């Protein structure tokens, strides 16, 4: 994966690991240097289907990343349902601690465009909330937040209810 940026390579490796964990062939994510996110997405959907991608990969990763932060998902959901945004300070207290590798990479690869202040921090919260790090405020909800709270969670509850009945 030599031609990929470290972020793209890291993403592809993370998906390969997730595929192994759910008993799928990690070769779905090829080692070709020219693969794009679109190509990988197409491969995942073609080989696994949308249901497995959502229930096994997306849901599994969201749950895994929130498992050591009790109440964080409930906090986000409560704000979503009331149509409010979390306060910057509260949101920062919910963030996972940055790893040594993340801090090192921040130093090695500084932000390239200072006009774009929506810097991802490799935290699951950034999948839900867009923040402006220059002025320390919560900018808004991401598209994923809407999908999660309005589509994915209700579907998961429905599937669990079917298995109980």
| pLDDT at 6 (0 to 100) | 54
**61: nearest Cα among 136, 150, 144, 154:** 144
| pLDDT at 120 (0 to 100) | 43
Kindly state the percentage of the chain with pLDDT values over 70.
75
61 or 85: which leads in pLDDT? 85
Compute the radius of gyration of the chain from its Cα atoms.
17
pLDDT at 9 over 90: no
Mean predicted confidence (pLDDT) in 52-63? 89
pLDDT at 134 over 60: yes
Q: Using N-to-C axis directions, what is the helix angle for 59-66 and 72-82, rounded to 10°?
A: 110
| pLDDT at 87 (0 to 100) | 93
* Cα(133)–Cα(33) distance, integer angstroms: 32
Helix residue ranges per DSSP H, the chain? 6-21, 37-48, 50-52, 59-66, 72-82, 88-94, 100-108, 125-128, 143-147, 153-164
């Amino acid at each position: 994966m030599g031609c990929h940026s470290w972020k793209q390579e890291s993403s592809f490796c993370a998906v390969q690991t997730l595929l192994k964990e759910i008993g799928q062939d990690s070769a779905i994510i090829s080692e070709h240097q020219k693969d794009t996110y679109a190509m990988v997405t197409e491969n995942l959907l073609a080989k696994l289907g949308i249901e497995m991608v959502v229930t096994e990969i997306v849901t599994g990763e969201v749950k895994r990343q929130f498992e050591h932060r009790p109440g964080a998902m409930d906090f986000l959901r409560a704000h979503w349902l009331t149509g409010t945004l979390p306060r910057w300070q509260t949101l920062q207290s919910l963030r996972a601690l940055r790893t040594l590798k993340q801090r090192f990479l921040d130093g090695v690869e500084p932000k390239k465009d200072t006009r774009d202040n929506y810097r991802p921090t490799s935290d699951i919260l950034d999948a839900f909330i867009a923040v402006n790090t220059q002025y320390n405020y919560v900018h808004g909800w991401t598209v994923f937040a809407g999908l999660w709270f309005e589509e994915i969670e209700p579907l998961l509850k429905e599937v669990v209810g079917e298995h109980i009945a």
